[in-house]
């Protein structure tokens, strides 16, 4: 017996319907920036939904952008993982951000397939509170796998990808463009797409970074 294409589409668990939008209990994890939370449909970062961040440069404030959510994971006694960041996190700076090193784990992979495998395994683990990955290339099929690993989870999943992919299609439910504001400790966050909400832009003043200590 053949199945009508519309029936197949309606039965796809990845399909989101406006009638299924949740109310108060679907609140996300607060970003720590009131102006940004007002823009986000879940009043914070959504859980169980891949957040793809496009950026031309690394180290422009992406950790500070998600620092408040990371601290919430620490309070919940769940682990934080960084997969292939461009620079190793500086422990004194992490402590200054309220992130004890014992809750933070760094993963280095040697190949693209290992990178994807590590992200997929971590995103699907209920003991993990948040995963941030840095990918030098983007692959829609890989993004789809990561989103499927996240579904039905309470994990925060963030993937930093090149700015060149911002104009390309993506299965990520939330997409952001990040841009440093020249001459200021600010980050321009452009919300390109979000599930159940609208696009928009906010310029955020970032909290200070703990400077390196000299011996």
Confidence (pLDDT) at 4: 52
Q: pTM of this prediction?
A: 0.83
Q: Which helix (H) or strand (E) holds 94?
A: helix 91-96
Confidence (pLDDT) at 24: 40
24-36 burial: b if 16+ Cβ within 10 Å, else e: eeeebbbbbbeeb
Domains of the chain: 34-205 (3.40.50.300)
Confidence (pLDDT) at 13: 41
pLDDT-derived band of residue 76, with 50, 70 and 90 as boundaries?
Answer: very high
- Residue-wise pLDDT for 13-50, tens only, equals 444 444 444 444 367 999 999 999 999 999 999 999 99
pLDDT at 213 over 70: no
Tell me what the mean pLDDT of segment 67-76 comes to. Answer: 94
Confidence (pLDDT) at 165: 75
Instruction: Choose between 165 and 190: higher pLDDT.
Output: 190
Confidence (pLDDT) at 14: 44
Confidence (pLDDT) at 26: 62
Strand runs labelled E in the chain:
50-55, 79-83, 104-107, 128-134, 156-162, 174-180, 186-193, 200-205
Confidence (pLDDT) at 212: 46
Residue 156, class by beta-carbon neighbours within 10 Å (0-12 exposed, 13-18 middle, 19+ buried)?
A: buried
- Residue-wise pLDDT for 173-201, tens only, equals 999 999 999 888 899 999 999 999 999 99
Confidence (pLDDT) at 21: 46
Q: Which helix (H) or strand (E) holds 71?
A: helix 67-75
With beta carbons less than 8 A apart as the criterion, state whether 99 and 122 touch. no
Give the percent of the chain with pLDDT over 90: 62
User: Mean pLDDT, the chain, as a whole number?
Assistant: 85
∠ CA 41-47-52, rounded to 5°: 80
Confidence (pLDDT) at 65: 96
Instruction: Choose between 4 and 188: higher pLDDT.
Output: 188
């Amino acid at each position: 017996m053949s199945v009508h294409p519309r029936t197949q589409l309606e039965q796809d668990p990845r399909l989101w319907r406006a009638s299924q939008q949740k109310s108060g209990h679907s609140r996300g994890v607060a970003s720590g920036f009131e102006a940004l939370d007002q823009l986000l449909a879940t009043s914070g970062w959504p859980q169980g939904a891949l957040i793809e961040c496009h950026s031309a440069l690394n180290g422009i404030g992406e950790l500070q952008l998600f620092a408040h959510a990371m601290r919430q994971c620490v309070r919940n006694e769940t682990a934080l993982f960084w997969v292939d960041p461009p620079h190793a996190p500086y422990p004194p700076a992490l402590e200054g951000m309220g992130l004890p090193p014992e809750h933070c784990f760094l993963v280095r992979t040697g190949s693209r397939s290992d990178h994807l495998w590590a992200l997929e395994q971590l995103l699907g683990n209920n003991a993990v509170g948040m995963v941030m990955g840095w990918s030098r290339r983007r692959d829609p099929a890989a993004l789809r796998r990561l989103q499927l690993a996240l579904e039905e989870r309470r994990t925060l999943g963030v993937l930093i990808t090149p700015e060149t992919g911002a104009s390309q299609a993506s299965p990520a439910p939330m997409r952001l463009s990040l841009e440093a504001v020249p001459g200021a400790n600010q980050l321009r966050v452009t919300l390109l797409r979000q599930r159940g909400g609208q696009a928009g832009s906010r310029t955020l003043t970032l909290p200070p970074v703990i400077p390196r200590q000299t011996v």
